[in-house]
Amino acid sequence: MKAVISRAGAIFASLVLSVLVARVLGPEESGKFFLLMAVLGALNTVARYGTDNAALKILGGASSRVGRDLFHLAALVVLCSLAVVGCSLGVILILRPDTGGNMAVYFVTASAIVPQALVVLFGTIMRGRQMLAVGTMAELGSIATLSVLLLTPVALLGTSSVITAMGCVALASWLTLMWSAPVAYRALSTTDKNAGDFSFIGLQKFFSIWKAPLTNITSSSLLIFLLNWFPVFLLSAVGTLTDVSYFVVAMRLVGFITLIPAIQASYLTPAIGRDYHHGAIQHLNNMCIRAARQAFALSSLPTLILVFAAHPLVTYVYGGGFSPVAAPVVVMAVAALVVSYAGPVNALMFLCDLEGVSLILNVGVAAAWASIGLWITLTYGLMGAASFQGAASILVAVISACSLRHKRNIISFVRFSRVTSTPECGAEK
């Protein structure tokens, strides 16, 4: 129950942050903020280098020296995130993109990369050690909540701008790191902490073993993130920043539909890793089917609300200037409900050794976005981007569910009967 409240609080905090930014900055300026946040999310995905998913595998039984390997994961995050910061700032200094004379906003944004990458790893460790509520808050809720608390007095003073908003996010990221690191360390057992072999040579050996899966996970995770946010980047290139703001607002409202699947992902991922690596496929199937049924049923109510009351809801929460968001909300809400029918396919693909399949699938969808999606967005604008996004998300969910069924004998989607017997294959012993 605490995990449910924590995940709901995280989504609510993200919604409040989007409302606050939209109200204070307006459609165009908030579009700049949301675009910077999307870029920051993509950079953080690279900076984590798949370590969060690897941590779940290690905690689920893929390693006999948990503490040592988790330390190596943290070291990789630090090295990768520093490299991402350096490369990002180098690109900014070379290209000098137009920011209306304010280059500092990019440096402020880059300063949040290191803490955000580490926070996700530490939150994953907490969840893997059954500290579900605290881990979920660290990963998903703390930064948004602290950003709201920091930005609210700034807004009341009337000094809000894109750079001050991003500064609040960066400061919130470092504050979250300060409390999440010691909590994650305490979550480890005494044996884990004394695992030893924390040398650079040990890190090299660890990387040589995990390099391939980490690279696949990172590539797939980045593609999944980019595909989720591709309309934002595309609209910023061929549309306007106001369109970017409208699309992100729609995503935040649709977050109420994805709330239940997101909560499930928080507490199911450690269990998925344990069941798969111990060959408990039948138990895994029954758990996923039950979760998919619950998610689909509970997501139906917010979907109906958004479909039939989108316009008054949008204008009441965000203001009359955001009324064009109503139509995309309806399309994206229906797509989100259909996706929930497929179950927790993203977590299953990563944790059940199908990272390569996920990568190929997402490369195909990225190619579709770069061709068909681009044409649809150019032709139909915001509604075109929302419609193609919905269709692409449904396609990915369906193909992922089919791949799990045929390659790992794992059933993730809604069924109305328990699985009584399933071949125990595909798991690492």
Contact 160, 24 (CB under 8 A): yes
- List Cβ neighbours of 320 (8 Å cut-off, separation of 6 or more): none
The answer to whether the CB of 116 falls within 8 A of the CB of 46 is: no
pLDDT in tens, the chain (429 residues): 666 677 777 778 888 888 898 888 888 888 889 989 989 988 998 888 888 878 877 777 666 677 777 888 888 889 899 999 998 888 888 776 655 556 788 889 899 999 999 999 999 888 878 787 888 888 888 999 999 999 999 888 777 788 899 999 999 999 999 999 999 888 876 656 555 556 666 777 777 777 777 787 777 777 778 777 888 888 888 888 899 999 988 988 888 787 777 777 666 777 777 777 777 788 888 888 888 888 888 888 889 999 999 899 888 888 878 888 899 999 999 999 988 888 888 878 877 778 778 878 888 888 998 899 899 999 988 899 999 999 998 998 898 888 888 888 888 777 665 555 444 444 443
> How far does the chain reach from its first CA to its final CA, in angstroms?
32
CA dist 340 and 397 (Å) reads 9
**pTM of the predicted model as reported, rounded to 2 decimal places:** 0.74
d(CA 355, CA 348): 9
CA distance 342 to 296: 9
